[in-house]
Amino acid sequence: MQKNTFKRKTLPSLAMAGPVSLWMILFVTLPMLYIIYISFMSRGVFGDVVYKFSLESYETLLDSTYFKVILKSIKAAFVTTVLCILIGYPFAYYIAKKPKEVASKLIMLIMIPFWTNSLMRLNSWLLLFQTSGPVNNFLLSTGFIDTPMSFVYTDGLVMVGMITNMLPFAVLPMYSSIEKLSRSLLEASADLGASGRTTFFNITLPLTFPGIFSSIILVFIPSLGIYTVTDMLGGGKVLYIGNIIKNQFGSIRNWPLGAALSVLLIVITGLLIYIYTRFAKIEDMEVL
Amino acid sequence: MSDSIVSLIDVEKSFGKNKVVKKMNVEIKEGEFLTLLGPSGCGKTTTLRMIAGFEEATSGAIKVQGESVEDKEPFERDVNTVFQNYALFPHMSVFDNIAYGLKIRKRPKDEITKRVNEMLDLVQLKGYENRKPDALSGGQKQRVAIARALINNPKVLLLDEPLGALDLKLRKQMQVELKRLQKKLGITFVYVTHDQEEALTMSDRIAVMNEGVIEQLATPREIYDRPFTKFVAGFIGESNIFDGKVKALHDGILDVETSSGTMKVKGSGFDVGESIHVSIRPEYVKVNSDPVEGFDLKGNVKDYIYMGTVVKTSVDLKDNIEIKYSRFEKDEDFKEGDSVNIYWNPERAVAIKAKK
Ligand SMILES: Nc1ncnc2c1ncn2[C@@H]1O[C@H](COP(=O)(O)OP(=O)(O)OP(=O)(O)O)[C@@H](O)[C@H]1O
Ligand SMILES: [Mg+2]
């Protein structure tokens, strides 16, 4: 009988989940374990990995230069997230209040940058903002400035790049939670004496909070590890964790240090996801 | 008019090209239980939403207590709504849901607590104040919705199919409770339903709506006994309706010619040759083996449905028209297939003007 239940229940689910699990183990879990393993090894003279236990890489992380970069990256990711939410929420709200056909077109507009090659997108930013680019030309011709401003390879431009890159991730979850909000709840609130503003803070905002939180996670985590935007718009002059990891594995060839930095990112990500699931549970209970 | 609390004057509503409410005129009296009754899509909800202020009338005027409410937001009207799907705030407890209207108005804490407790008493939900809406049954949610709408002491309570989602037994129970509540509070209820039985049992007056028009506005008794239009006759209760022409008239009784034969009906204001509908309830239909003077409705008894004390039967008439009749089991009886003559007391039948 036991064998029978196994055949009937366990086997089919194993058949379905099996390949995916195997794939995940092979290509996600194992590499991750390997990264963790390497982070505790030492670096050889020729940039190779010497398989001898050492905490050297982690000690380097605490070194002030690296530590500063880490803090700076966290700060940049934080600012990106806050701005994406602040810009994205009104935008998501606006779209959600439009009729369905209009809304789907607007969503489409947001998605278009996703489908263009990111190198092309970032390069066009550089062209736009370079010393003799259209933005400077425009500012010069209107007389706002009399010498061209240097936008490229600055923290400012990197920030603008990060925000535009991440905005769609912020808008979509918030849009879907605002859109799901039943109109009759807002009408009930108005009926009972609330102005539009009061209704927003009492009903709309709390009920769309899960969406906001998803957006935070979806923006913050990639922002922390991003290196394409910082590489291109920062021109290698502006360093974030992502760039350093890339360099350690690439040109500098200090794999244990790169691995240790990666582990740090994984830990931060894991922590956030843990908070998220805990939070989501509480939220569920609130709604129940 | 001083005793009407809500007036709709020539109110019309269109969504795009679709005219949903047409030239509606209603005077809702203070303290009455008025029901908007009609089939799905006839404009009941739209009418209610215009009174509440969620929808703007395309033309015409709506007055509450004699004042035009055109420029008033929903929260500025002395009117509150119980929504069809309850619309309880899912992130708030029962207490906070009910207290919402007072909290918004920044009433003092002890007043809020006192009023919410009164409301909980009123709808018999003591002990549930800390629950979230999702932990309540349908009937309990409905009570919370009612308590929440009543806390601001509205002059008029609008209810959009409030019992629509409940099962039959709970529905019957809540009908009685709602009616009792309305009497106790003495406020006006404007109630939307498409359940005619509900409308008949609860209402002081019923407005029967069809395709955006009020076909008849009267007491349940009048609606049932003297329907104005063919639609009302067919929609309320069971009815046999014949289409015909007036052949002759004498002493307030009309002789009517239909494709099933001739019949008599009480009526006034008709001319000879005019098109007419005749409506007769199954319980007033009589059967005889010999023809009855003034009636020529012959047919064969078709089926025989025994329903406890009452028996329902139908007779096939000429032109493939079937007439239903019901009677007590102990009455004189005909068997299936018997050839019979149908007649009735002309006073019991209703003459209805045909629409031009
Ligand atoms: N916002 C809207 N936009 C366009 N058409 C609408 C809108 N609201 C209602 N309608 C249309 O108006 C008509 C009347 O709708 P309404 O909701 O008033 O009907 P109802 O009598 O309440 O029906 P039900 O018994 O199904 O609730 C319907 O044909 C509906 O499709
Ligand atoms: Mg409706």
Supply the ipTM of this predicted assembly. 0.82
pLDDT band at A45 (very low <50, low <70, confident <90, very high): confident
Distance between CA atoms of B277 and A179, rounded to whole angstroms?
50
Distance between CA atoms of A73 and B81, rounded to whole angstroms?
52
H or E stretch covering B284: none
Pick from B45, B158, B215, B235 the residue to mutate for probing ligand 1's pocket: most ligand atoms within 8 Å of its CB.
B45
Does residue A43 belong to any structural domain of this protein? no
pLDDT of residue B278: 94
pLDDT of residue A145: 83
8 Å CB contact of A194 and B52: no
Does residue A30 belong to any structural domain of this protein? no
Distance between CA atoms of A77 and A55, rounded to whole angstroms?
27
Does residue A122 belong to any structural domain of this protein? yes
Distance between CA atoms of B256 and B248, rounded to whole angstroms?
7
The residue whose two tokens read 């407790």 is B117
Bigger pLDDT: B327 or A259? A259
- φ, ψ of residue B242 in degrees (nearest 5): -115, 140
Cα of B45 vs centre of ligand 1, distance in Å, is 7
pLDDT of residue B315: 83
8 Å CB contact of A184 and B148: no
Interface test with A, best of B78, B89, B161 (most A CBs within 10 A): B89
Does residue A214 belong to any structural domain of this protein? yes
pLDDT exceeds 80 at position A14: no
Distance between CA atoms of B2 and A185, rounded to whole angstroms?
34
Q: Which atom of ligand 1 is nearest to the CA of B16?
A: 4
pLDDT exceeds 80 at position B1: no
Residue B320 C-beta-side C-alpha neighbours within 13 Å: 0
Is B314 an 8 Å CB contact of chain A?
Answer: no
From A188-197, B313-322, B330-339, the region with the lowest mean pLDDT: B330-339
Question: Domain residues for A88?
Answer: 68-247
For B172-196, what is each residue's pLDDT tens digit? Answer: 989 999 999 999 999 999 999 988 8
- For residue A124, what are its two tokens? 């066009």
Interface test with A, best of B85, B91, B151 (most A CBs within 10 A): B91
8 Å CB contact of A190 and B91: no
Cα of B161 vs centre of ligand 1, distance in Å, is 14
pLDDT of residue A287: 35
For B259-293, what is each residue's pLDDT tens digit? Answer: 888 999 998 888 898 999 999 998 898 888 888 88
Order of all β-strands in the sheet with B240-250: B261-266, B253-258, B240-250, B275-280, B350-353
| Residue among A215, A230, A49 at smallest CA distance from A122 | A230
Cite the DSSP H helix spans in A118-254. Answer: 118-129, 134-142, 155-180, 183-191, 196-199, 205-207, 209-225, 228-234, 241-249
pLDDT of residue A275: 85
Burial of B144 (0-12, 13-18, 19+ CB in 10 A): buried
Q: Tell me, what CATH number does A78's domain have?
A: 1.10.3720.10
CA distances, B55 to each of A193, B48, B49, B150 (Å): 16, 9, 5, 21
Question: Mean pLDDT in chain A?
Answer: 85
Nearest CA to ligand 1 atom 16: B43
- DSSP assignment of B91-104 equals TS-HHHHHHHHHHH
For A85-128, what is each residue's pLDDT tens digit? Answer: 999 999 999 999 999 899 999 988 888 877 788 788 888 888 88
Does residue A26 belong to any structural domain of this protein? no
Does residue A133 belong to any structural domain of this protein? yes
Ligand 1 pocket, residue B36 CB under 6 Å: no
pLDDT exceeds 90 at position B203: yes
From B52-66, B155-169, B308-322, the region with the lowest mean pLDDT: B308-322
- φ, ψ of residue B239 in degrees (nearest 5): -150, 150
Does residue A211 belong to any structural domain of this protein? yes
Bigger pLDDT: B82 or A144? B82
Distance between CA atoms of B293 and B253, rounded to whole angstroms?
13
Ligand 1 pocket, residue B286 CB under 6 Å: no
pLDDT of residue A24: 84
Q: How many domains does chain A have?
A: 1
Does residue A13 belong to any structural domain of this protein? no
pLDDT of residue B298: 87
Bigger pLDDT: A63 or A80? A80
8 Å CB contact of A192 and B85: no
